[in-house]
Amino acid sequence: MKRKIITISVLVLTLALAAFIYFKFFFVFGEGVKAGELNFVVYKGYIFKTYEGKAIQAGFDARNRNLGSIQSYEFEFSITDKEVADSLMRCSGKHVELHYKEYLGTLPWRGMQKFVVDRIINVN
């Protein structure tokens, strides 16, 4: 009886850990399109080399609507596809629309950001 309880407990803990890992690192929490001026795309890392990028999104500052001030937001992202990264490396300074997937956690081989760009929608 004691052995059966231990076996069931280990099985439940293993399944709970597997579910946690899946939802934290592999479940796509959200996806969408962000647009902005591409600041840079770099290939960096000590052990796991990944493509990292940043786009600047201009918009109105929601806190100061009366003043009509413009606020910049940075969209920092990782790129897993080498072809997408190579294309973006040639687009620095241009207005881009990027499709991304948002994860709840990062993995070293996927990149440093929770947002992972998987394709380019438009470049102007």
Rounded distance between C-alpha atoms, residue 104 and residue 48, angstroms: 20
Q: What confidence score (pLDDT) does residue 72 get?
A: 77
Cβ-Cβ contacts under 8 Å for 93 (sequence gap 6 or more)? 37, 38
**Predicted pLDDT at 59:** 73
Q: What are phi and psi of 15, to 5 degrees?
A: -65, -40
> What is the arithmetic mean of pLDDT over 28-50?
96
Mean pLDDT, the chain, whole residue set: 93
Q: What is the pLDDT of residues 44-89, one digit of tens each?
A: 999 999 999 999 998 766 666 556 667 779 999 999 999 999 999 9
Question: pLDDT-derived band of residue 3, with 50, 70 and 90 as boundaries?
Answer: very high
Closest to 124 (Cα-Cα) out of 75, 76, 90, 91: 91
What pLDDT was estimated at residue 58? 82
In angstroms, how far is CA 106 from the centroid of its own chain? Answer: 8
Q: Given a cut of 70, is residue 104 above it in pLDDT?
A: yes
- The residues facing 76 across adjacent strands are 54
Give the pTM: 0.84
Closest CA to 77 of 122, 26, 35: 35
